[in-house]
Structure 1
């Protein structure tokens, strides 16, 4: 049989997008509606392509709803698919586990939500498809669910729907861990995975095992094209898998190396070129950009002292380039002053401090900081304990960033001492 279906995951409808209030000028309304608009694009695609069915591999929601509007929106979109006789098969992921979502709305008859206590199978006999799936009963499922999936149904195109970290992925909890061999052992034709927000093939054939990624990025760590996979099957064999963009707002990170840049105007010209390039690649979508400045540059002190003014210059430029469709989310200045020290220079308290910083063990210093500031850490509010706003470093990378800033202050002092202009 020939048929087509859509594989999507990690919708995160009405994701709260915490912390937006900290960003002056943030397009809050457009950001908050982005997940809904991307989901509408998904439903439109299913109708336009007249697919045989849609699979949602977990994390439809983003945790408990503030009100019923989130569930009502989803139900209304499913009713649109029901009108076109398109069934939907979905599992619950860690964000919409049975123990997390406390509200419930009756869904249209075309929507089937797989059991959370055991693997369940559904067969579409007219096109000879068997779909197997099990959702999350609790937020943290640590056992290998794949082992409980049944063997393939002979003579059918078999699809396994699973929310999993597979072998583990950076930035994601290791939920429902399993191996590629576990999945291949079932004899299925396609594994529709969810949980990992970056598109990734674990196997491209015999069987296809795919994370499609989320359909709409929500922050600067989720860059690039976001969407779903459209799968075309001919004579029971996977023939074509196409990644279809659904996102309405795209995130990008621009890293600009300012090594040897000495004039502020040259920096702005370089930044403008990078912003224009990123906007062209967004293909008409709104673009949220984080800019990271790096390199040894004589502009370092000026940039560090006037960060707010620099950010406003960049935002003004972005408004001109994108006519309101570009938002500079954040500016991170990781530049350094030019190398000014040479071997054999006379002793100096500042140079001695630099040498100490270069030679120290980050691991040992981090441990000392944890011991010394434990009571203060316990008293801090949660938003100051983690992420980019954390006061006390919780990792070697964060510690390095903070010491990097200290070293720059010392270098500025040396430059002033020698009468050199930074």
Structure 2
């Protein structure tokens, strides 16, 4: 008889908002509750599919932000599985290790929380059914600079061995190295299925002897976690072959909408062009809600006005999103060029100012130092989980300064040009 389980990771329950752009109270509430709602969907799916187990590969919580209210919610949802006879196997990831209440919460008896020493759980199966064993190991500390693979027990013979691990594998952009190990090492380990967590982007590596699955996260929290989010529904057949189904779980899906406005000369035509593209994107998103970041490109005589009135444009698009239905605007970014002369300014004085800014101010060491000082001061005032907004490393931070300086200069010139025209 088959063995079926649902594999997910990186829930980050009740994670604090990670973007400063979510100033709309309704949108903030939606995103603030999205991780909970996605987790309820996961439990619902377990019950609907009548799986044998739920496998959680770490980072249920979001570090020291966790409250007992969050933990009680988790326990209540897992009790729903307990009452249906569905077991839960979970490991603690790097964020869970930061949680002060991780070890205090009392789980239902059907929940197996693996500790800091690797363990193996042999599943009770009916006579004649193939044996299944689940191996797990939790993070004891927030950092694990070395591979944990060597700590796992050897696979049980003539058994479908499932390993649960929180790891960055060989490394990934935007993710620090946690318990790094190679795909080749996992393939040679003798485990039939590796249920991984930590990397928020879905990936699957299969060969005849193993399946290595990073399910991604079930719900994005900001624009940097854009795209559809899902979990894996896994069926191990009697011949021990594996079927992996992707099931969508996200309540609100973040997407980047790039709109080329070249040739648009009237404000109402601009709004209509964006609206058409927003409607098109809404039609491709299966999640309940779409949260779009609109990025305007191209050349238009409205370029300066777009920059000056970006707030009005955002309000207009929020209204259109409401009409479309369950469509929200995260931010409107303007990266257009003015039609006409190369500098996009009409008077000699503004043209000269644009040249000075471009040649002398933007490249000035002193100007760069001022930008850096302001940005570092702002970053220092943010909670630790939000500081990556200013870049996860030095190169990203410097690129951010360049973009901020460029956009700031363009906005100043836009406002000056508009005043000159009045």
TM norm. shorter chain > 0.5: yes
Higher mean displacement: 310-319 or 351-360: 351-360
Tell me which residue corresponds to 1:97. Answer: 97
The Cα RMSD (Å) is 3.5
Task: Give CA-to-partner distance per residue, 1:382-405, whole Å, 9 cap, x none.
Answer: 239945579x99634213313432
| 1:136 to 1:222, Cα distance in 2 relative to 1, 3 A | same
Deviation at 1:306, TM superposition (A): 0.9
Q: Which residue of 2 aligns with 1:257?
A: 260
**Structure-2 change in CA distance of 1:321 and 1:80 (3 Å):** same
Deviations 1:339-385 (A, max 9, x none): 6249xxx9x8457547637996xxx959x835995598358742399
Give 2:202's aligned residue: 199
Partner of 1:39: 39
Q: Within 2, Cα distance between the matches of 1:376 and 1:220? A: 21
For residues 286 and 412 of structure 2, what CA distance do their matches in structure 1 show?
A: 44
Structure 1 residue 318 and structure 2 residue 317: aligned? no
**Aligned pair 1:123/2:122, yes or no?**
yes
Deviates more, 1:218-227 or 1:186-195: 218-227
Query: What residue is the counterpart of 1:60 in the other structure?
Result: 60
Q: Provide the C-alpha distance between the structure 2 equivalents of 1:270 and 1:285, rounded to a whole number of angstroms.
A: 24
Residue 329 of structure 1 is matched in structure 2 by 330
How far residue 320 of structure 1 moved from its aligned partner, in angstroms, is 1.1
Check 1:142–1:339 CA distance in 2 against 1; reply closer, same or farther (3 A cut): farther
Q: Which runs of 5+ in 2 are unaligned?
A: none
1:286 aligns with 2:289: yes
Q: Post-superposition shift, 1:406?
A: 5.2
Deviation per CA, 1:91-133, whole angstroms, max 9, x where unpaired? 00011116654661211111001121x2211111414111111
Instruction: Kindly indicate whether residue 301 of structure 2 is the aligned counterpart of residue 298 of structure 1.
Output: yes
What CA distance in whole angstroms lies between the structure 1 residues aligned with 2:150 and 2:212?
A: 16
**Structure 1 SS opposite 2:63:** coil
Shift of 1:302: 0.6
Compute the displacement of 1:18 (Å).
5.0
**2:49 alignment counterpart:** 49
- 2:8 match: 8
Q: CA deviation at 1:30?
A: 2.8
SS at match of 1:398: helix
Structure 2: how far apart are the matches of 1:181 and 1:250? 33
> Does the Cα contact within 8 Å between 1:26 and 1:327 map onto a contact in 2?
no
| Alignment gaps of 5+ in structure 1 | none
CA drift of 1:220 comes to: 1.3
User: Secondary structure of 2:56's partner?
Assistant: strand
Q: Deviations over 1:167-200 (max 9, x none)?
A: 1111112111111122112111111110111111
Candidates 172, 175, 185, aligned match of 1:172: 175
The SS at the match of 2:255 is: strand
8 Å Cα contact 1:196-1:213 kept in structure 2? yes
Q: Following the alignment from structure 1 to structure 2, what is the Cα–Cα distance between the partners of residues 210 and 283?
A: 23
What residue number does 1:188 align with?
A: 191
Scaled by the length of structure 1, the TM-score of the pair is: 0.85
Give 4+ residue runs of structure 1 displaced > 6 Å after superposition.
413-416
1:166 & 1:53 partners in 2: Cα distance?
A: 24
CA deviation string 1:36-71 (max 9, x = no partner): 221111111111111111110001111235542212
Secondary structure (helix, strand or coil) at the match of 2:196 reads: strand
More divergent stretch after superposition (274-283 vs 226-235): 274-283
The one of 136, 144, 152 equivalent to 1:141 is 144
Work out whether residues 11 and 39 of structure 1, in 8 Å CA contact, stay in contact via their aligned partners in 2: yes
Q: Distance in 1 between matches of 2:188 and 2:280?
A: 45
Q: Partners of 2:323 and 2:150 in 1: how far apart?
A: 55
The whole-number CA distance in structure 1 between the counterparts of 2:24 and 2:156 is: 56
Residues 225-264 of structure 1 mapped to structure 2, 5 A cutoff = 225-264=228-267
Contact 2:258 2:296 in 1 (8 A): yes
Kept after mapping to 1: 8 A contact 2:64/2:98: no
Secondary structure of the 2:30 match is helix
Distance in 2 separating the partners of 1:382 and 1:313: 32
* Alignment: residue pair count: 409
SS in 2 for 1:26: helix
Equivalent residue for 1:76? 76
